[in-house]
Structure 1
Amino acid sequence: MKRLLCLTLALALSLTVFAGCGKDDSSSASSGGSSAPVSTATPEPTAAPFDGRPLTGEEKGADYVGGRPVAVMINNRSDSRPTRGLSQADVLYEIMVEGGITRFMALFPTADLSEIGPVRSGRDQFFRLIRPYQALYLFVGRSEITQQYIDDTEYGELAVNGMKVSFAYRDAAREAQGWTTDATAYTNGEKIQSYIQSNNVDMSRELTSPIFDFVDYRESPRTLGGDSATSVNIVHSSSYRTAFDYDASSGKYLTSLYAPKSGYTPMVDEATGGRMAFENVIVLFTDITQYPYPGGNPHGNPDYKKVDYDFGGLGYYISNGRIEKIRWTKGPTEYPLMLQDEAGNSLKVNCGKSYVAVVSLNEYDNFSYEGDGGDATANSVAVDPNADSAAQQAEQAADVADAG
């Protein structure tokens, strides 16, 4: 009897199990006899990372050739204008050097250049800006202060003094026309390449990141949140000023240079006849004082300018017809220039060519801009009739010291 009960219970359990299986089978059968397909989400396509040109942020394109950038010191004394070949530059820096005179440093993406000049002597305030980018730095003569920075940073063959290396030559036509010697030195890609090959300089070293935090070239240019700024006037000193007028059709700022005798005149590239123009204008204010000079120069104190990059400061970013206040930091020589908006975020800079001015805090109140229909140069400071001659005397003293 016990055995029969156990068999009955076992049979009942097996029927229950099979009944459950039978129920699953019938469900499968009712749906066509196969399991329902498992749905998988289609992954979102991953956008290609930003990979713009390091100096402009623009798309590299099929014709892009990377490599080490080249920085060339350029004369901006009023009697040395017009300059030649600067429209090839992606970034143009302007800073006061001595006696109120400013100088340019043109930053090019490669050494493949047509004629550039007039080439001028090196200054530490420029070298410290491009040292982090490891650019080939070309100049004719240099201050001892500049040479000390070059030596301390072990820049070696990347710093090229045209007074000791024949990468530069004199423009015979300018000499015949009576131009001063310091306004006749030029160079070109062939001369630069000869130096590179002779000294085995590795020009394949490309920048690993852009010099500014550029807007993605696949997006529209950023509209700045500040005032309208279609006319801008930067006062470096009583005799040296640079003005910009916005051309809405091209989205660029057209450049003009000031001279006491002629006022504002368009800045053109002598090689092309075209107007110098930039998508971005960046103005950085800081303390600019005078380096102490020990004397011994029969022409007097060269008045070398000492630019303070240690603590950063305030400035302006101008693009696309508008202006924003910004902050900037730099610090030690090996640290790159960094730009932030007023909230402390990294400044988004529109793609394109940039003009960068480092200006004395003494001239902060003389900086001006106007909106549509305005002329910022009308608000310019009064002209000092003795400023230009005093500036040239200081530069002559510096020329003697540079050659020492």
Structure 2
Amino acid sequence: MKRVFALVLALALTLTAFTACGGSKPSGSTTTPAASAEPTPEPTPVYDPDPLTGREKPAGFNGGRPVAIMINNIQQCRPQRGLNEAKVLYESKVEGGITRFMGLFEDYENLPDIGPVRSARDQFFRVIMPFQPLYVHIGRSGITQQYIDDADYGDLNVDGNDTTITYWDQNRRNQGFAQEHTAYTNSEWLQKYVDKKGIDMDRELTSPIFDFVNYNEPVRALGGEAATSIGITHSQSYRTYFDYDTATSKYMMSQYSSARGVTPTVDENDKEQVGFNNVFVLFADISAYPYPGGNLDKNGNDKGDPDYQKVDYTFGGLGYYFNNGKCEKIRWFKGATNEVLRFTDESGSSSLKINPGTSYVGIVDLDEYEKFEYTGPETDASISAPAANPDAAASDAAAEKVAE
């Protein structure tokens, strides 16, 4: 009996041993290790920027052909409408020391009132012609018309004197504004012109207008000095100022008025102060075109030299770039009418990387360079403004009248 019990116990131990081994292979056999999983590569972020701001296109983005609109800036026409809608706002001296704006807009189907719309000048047309926008204005200088003809701009040149592209705001007239300061356009009026002429407004820019930092990457920290206040002198009567607002990362715009001093530039549409993420100040040789005669009124009388201003884009020049409370000295280049405005670092060797956002571009007479100034938060120095000149407004209006 003991022998039977011993055999049963030995058999049980043998079965337990095989179970513990888990049915392993005999000694000397090999096991193929499981292949390790390859890590899934991160997908490359899509880069499809808004061509005018470099920002990511929002859902439902409706870009297409941009629209450039000439906007009056004579003191008597302020406040203007639609400045906060501009993705890029250009300012330059025209005649008699006054300045004019040109706004570059997108999504023409959703634009509120823009204006007062004013006459075209060649220094603006030459800057934006390479982008082939719808160029909207009321009247133009003869020099501008020559550039438009040379560029064969056709129906993209929209002169409100010849089309129903603008309307006159009677409410403004009732408030005492002169008629030339009451012409506006908006989506409804633009659509009428587009439909009438069969303009292809689906044509989009193939690349951004500036060399923007990729919006998938961190913004670039400028390497220059702190700059939270900027003072730009275009002439004795026309000066533009910016103060950096950390809450919005924008430079908020103000302008000098001979009657009221420096006051915030407000968009009449939304009653908000106008501001931009990027500010460019570009110094250029600006001088009066020679007057050949022929500036006649409706009665055939010579009104005299209109003092049209010529901006020399031939060789480029010195400039300043402001963003996020900092400033860098830069170089700018333009050249022929069909060449785009380009920015480089101060040495001219590397393209300037520009942070995404809206932009102000001031084209300033080199003669006013000594009056240009900016300050940072570490200094208490205030930017000076000219003393009020009660006769300046009348002089500005007279200069504009001669030039029309």
Q: Secondary structure at the match of 2:368?
A: helix
Q: Secondary structure at the match of 2:65?
A: coil
Equivalence map 1:15-94=2 (5 Å): 30-32=29-31, 44-94=41-91
The one of 244, 257, 262 equivalent to 1:259 is 257
Work out whether 1:97 is the aligned partner of 2:94. Answer: yes
Corresponding residue number in structure 1 for 2:196:
198
Are the aligned partners of 2:119 and 2:139 in contact in 1 as well (CA < 8 Å)?
A: yes
Are the aligned partners of 1:368 and 1:379 in contact in 2 as well (CA < 8 Å)?
A: no
The verdict on how the C-alpha distance between 1:52 and 1:196 changes in structure 2, with shifts beyond 3 A counting, is same
Deviation, structure 1 residue 204:
0.6
**More divergent stretch after superposition (119-128 vs 385-394):** 385-394
The one of 234, 243, 247 equivalent to 2:232 is 234
The verdict on how the C-alpha distance between 1:68 and 1:244 changes in structure 2, with shifts beyond 3 A counting, is same
Tell me the distance in 2 between the aligned counterparts of 1:176 and 1:387: 24
Give the fraction of aligned pairs with identical amino acids, expressed as a percent.
Answer: 53
Structure 1 gap ranges (5+): 1-28, 400-404
AA aligned opposite 2:323: S
Corresponding residue number in structure 2 for 1:334:
338
Are the aligned partners of 1:286 and 1:312 in contact in 2 as well (CA < 8 Å)?
A: yes
**More divergent stretch after superposition (299-308 vs 379-388):** 379-388
The one of 351, 357, 365 equivalent to 1:360 is 365
When normalised by structure 2's length, the TM-score is: 0.87
Tell me the distance in 2 between the aligned counterparts of 1:269 and 1:99: 25
* Superposed CA offset, 1:4-41 (max 9, x none): xxxxxxxxxxxxxxxxxxxxxxxxx8434x6x788796
Corresponding residue number in structure 2 for 1:300:
304
Are the aligned partners of 1:243 and 1:377 in contact in 2 as well (CA < 8 Å)?
A: no
Corresponding residue number in structure 1 for 2:5:
none
Q: Secondary structure at the match of 1:358?
A: strand
Deviation, structure 1 residue 218:
2.2
Are the aligned partners of 1:300 and 1:394 in contact in 2 as well (CA < 8 Å)?
A: no
Tell me the distance in 1 between the aligned counterparts of 2:61 and 2:181: 33
Deviation, structure 1 residue 250:
1.1
The one of 119, 138, 155 equivalent to 2:117 is 119
Corresponding residue number in structure 1 for 2:273:
275
Structure 2 gap ranges (5+): 1-27, 296-301
Deviation, structure 1 residue 210:
0.5
Q: Secondary structure at the match of 2:369?
A: helix
Corresponding residue number in structure 2 for 1:211:
209
Tell me the distance in 2 between the aligned counterparts of 1:296 and 1:148: 15
AA aligned opposite 1:229: A
The one of 342, 351, 355 equivalent to 1:346 is 351
* Superposed CA offset, 1:219-239 (max 9, x none): 332221111111101100000
- Cα RMSD after superposing both structures: 2.2
Are the aligned partners of 2:45 and 2:216 in contact in 1 as well (CA < 8 Å)?
A: no
When normalised by structure 1's length, the TM-score is: 0.87
The one of 301, 308, 313 equivalent to 1:309 is 313
Deviation, structure 1 residue 375:
7.1
Are the aligned partners of 2:228 and 2:243 in contact in 1 as well (CA < 8 Å)?
A: yes
Tell me the distance in 2 between the aligned counterparts of 1:50 and 1:364: 38
Deviation, structure 1 residue 377:
6.0
Corresponding residue number in structure 1 for 2:383:
378
Are the aligned partners of 1:366 and 1:380 in contact in 2 as well (CA < 8 Å)?
A: no
Deviation, structure 1 residue 114:
1.1
AA aligned opposite 2:84: S
Tell me the distance in 2 between the aligned counterparts of 1:76 and 1:375: 31
AA aligned opposite 1:295: G
Deviation, structure 1 residue 300:
1.6
AA aligned opposite 2:340: P
Q: Secondary structure at the match of 1:160?
A: strand
Corresponding residue number in structure 2 for 1:128:
126
Q: Secondary structure at the match of 1:349?
A: coil
Equivalence map 1:168-187=2 (5 Å): 168-187=166-185
Q: Secondary structure at the match of 1:147?
A: helix
Tell me the distance in 2 between the aligned counterparts of 1:162 and 1:377: 42
Tell me the distance in 2 between the aligned counterparts of 1:60 and 1:94: 26
Q: Secondary structure at the match of 1:346?
A: coil
**More divergent stretch after superposition (382-391 vs 189-198):** 382-391
Deviation, structure 1 residue 387:
4.9
Corresponding residue number in structure 2 for 1:153:
151
The verdict on how the C-alpha distance between 1:178 and 1:382 changes in structure 2, with shifts beyond 3 A counting, is closer
How many residues are treated as equivalent by the alignment? 372
AA aligned opposite 1:161: D
Q: Secondary structure at the match of 1:138?
A: strand
Deviation, structure 1 residue 180:
1.2
Are the aligned partners of 2:259 and 2:389 in contact in 1 as well (CA < 8 Å)?
A: no
Q: Secondary structure at the match of 1:94?
A: strand
Work out whether 1:189 is the aligned partner of 2:173. Answer: no
Deviation, structure 1 residue 345:
1.0
Q: Secondary structure at the match of 2:94?
A: strand
